[in-house]
Amino acid sequence: MIEVSNLTKYYGDIKALSDVSFNVNDGEVVGLLGPNGAGKSTTIKILTGYLQPDDGVVKIDNLDVLTHTREIQTRIGYLPENAPLYPELTVQTYLRMIADLREIPREAQQARLSEAIYATGLADRLTQPIAQLSKGFRQRVGLAQAILHQPKLLILDEPTIGLDPTQIVEIRHLIQRLARNSTILFSSHILSEVEAVCDRVIIIMNGELKADAKLDELSTSSDAILILQEETAGVNQALQALSGVSAIEPLRSTDGHPGYRVTAQSDVDLCPSIYDLARRSDWPVRELRRDVRTLESVFNQLATAE
């Protein structure tokens, strides 16, 4: 659905994006995760045709965004980082105006408006001028305009920024509901948010793509953890000799037992061969498992490596 190839973008001398490539498949919910200034909004503006890259190509539904800008903009739902709302208009008037702009046929407008208003919980704010709304409600108006024409693809730039915890949970549920019928790419600098909603996460830092993986792939490392009942001679050497092993690091379990972290040369699960070796060698195995990392630890590892 989205194909991003080798995007590079400069603002004057600042390199905001450097050779960024990724895809988003039909039906996926993908989180674009990165700290402030990472290049998320820049990426999203290029994807939606509101900013031109210095290099690289974006295709949406196989159409080049640079040459089919209008067409693509009508197909997608986009929540920009600063939604251009009209402060003097009431919520209702604003959404009607958007419905006209999107050329939603008059006879379909009422139903679409009701759905969007219901989905974003705006029913009791319809006659209020946008200027009087809290940040959270303005964000909902932004979301309502993004989903009004029932786009198959939603691109949301930090949809929960500035919201309080209750509102964040509500928006999260809304994204989950919308995900049943749409492909969604949304950016965030909040790990837990991405973790809660996404199938896949793309991490960018300093304008560079650092990771692109399903959540469970990211959180499963290729390290195996072997914990023994007590110190056992020859274990280290035997593990070294095991095929596919690249490094071994001694460790202690939280309850004080000796063990090893065994790192694989490639992304293979070493546990079956370690299990086999341990059984043959009669080691007093207490625990053998693949290491599970949290998204937070992955993110922090990447951030410290920067």
Residues that bind ligand ADP (CB under 6 A): 11, 14, 16, 34, 36-42
Residues ≥6 apart with Cβ < 8 Å to 137: 122, 125
For tokens 């065994």, what's the residue?
A: 262
Q: Which does 39 bind (CB under 5 to 8 A by kind): ligand ADP, Mg ion, none?
A: ligand ADP
Pairing of strands 183-188, 29-33: parallel
Q: How far is the CB of 36 from ligand ADP (least distance, A)?
A: 4
Q: How far is the CB of 40 from Mg ion (least distance, A)?
A: 5
Q: How far is the CB of 301 from ligand ADP (least distance, A)?
A: 19
Pairwise CA distance, residues 90 & 94, whole Å: 6
Q: How far is the CB of 7 from ligand ADP (least distance, A)?
A: 11
Q: Which of 239, 295 has the CB closer to ligand ADP?
A: 295
Q: Which does 38 bind (CB under 5 to 8 A by kind): Mg ion, ligand ADP, none?
A: ligand ADP
- As given in the structure block, the two tokens for residue 31 are 């989180």
Site membership for Mg ion, residue 43 (CB under 5 A) = no
Pairwise CA distance, residues 14 & 21, whole Å: 19
Q: How far is the CB of 81 from ligand ADP (least distance, A)?
A: 7
In Å, what is the CA distance from 299 to each residue of 161, 189, 199, 247? 19, 11, 16, 22
Q: Which does 171 bind (CB under 5 to 8 A by kind): ligand ADP, Mg ion, none?
A: none
Query: How many CA within 13 A on the CB side of residue 131?
Result: 4
Specify whether the CB–CB gap between 101 and 94 falls below 8 A.
no
Pairwise CA distance, residues 99 & 108, whole Å: 10
- As given in the structure block, the two tokens for residue 91 are 């919520």
Q: Which does 200 bind (CB under 5 to 8 A by kind): Mg ion, ligand ADP, none?
A: none
24: region left, alpha or beta (phi > 0 left; psi from -120 to 50 alpha)? beta
Specify whether the CB–CB gap between 220 and 65 falls below 8 A.
no
**What mask of x and - would describe binding to Mg ion in positions 67 to 106, judged by CB under 5 A?**
--------------x-------------------------
Q: How far is the CB of 40 from ligand ADP (least distance, A)?
A: 3
Q: How far is the CB of 31 from ligand ADP (least distance, A)?
A: 13
Q: Which does 77 bind (CB under 5 to 8 A by kind): ligand ADP, Mg ion, none?
A: none
Q: Which of 33, 225 has the CB closer to ligand ADP?
A: 33
DSSP string of 21-51, one letter each residue:
EEEE-TT-EEEEE--TTSSHHHHHHHHTTSS
Q: Which does 37 bind (CB under 5 to 8 A by kind): ligand ADP, Mg ion, none?
A: ligand ADP
Q: Which helix (H) or strand (E) holds 20?
A: strand 14-24
Q: Which does 304 bind (CB under 5 to 8 A by kind): ligand ADP, Mg ion, none?
A: none
- As given in the structure block, the two tokens for residue 49 are 């045709």
Q: Which of 60, 204 has the CB closer to Mg ion?
A: 204
Specify whether the CB–CB gap between 227 and 257 falls below 8 A.
yes
Q: How far is the CB of 102 from ligand ADP (least distance, A)?
A: 26
Provide the residue type at 259 as one letter: G
Give the residue, chosen from 30, 41, 65, 195, that forms a contact with Mg ion under the rule CB under 5 A: 41
Q: Which of 82, 132 has the CB closer to Mg ion?
A: 82
Which residues are near Mg ion by CB under 5 A? Answer: 40-41, 81
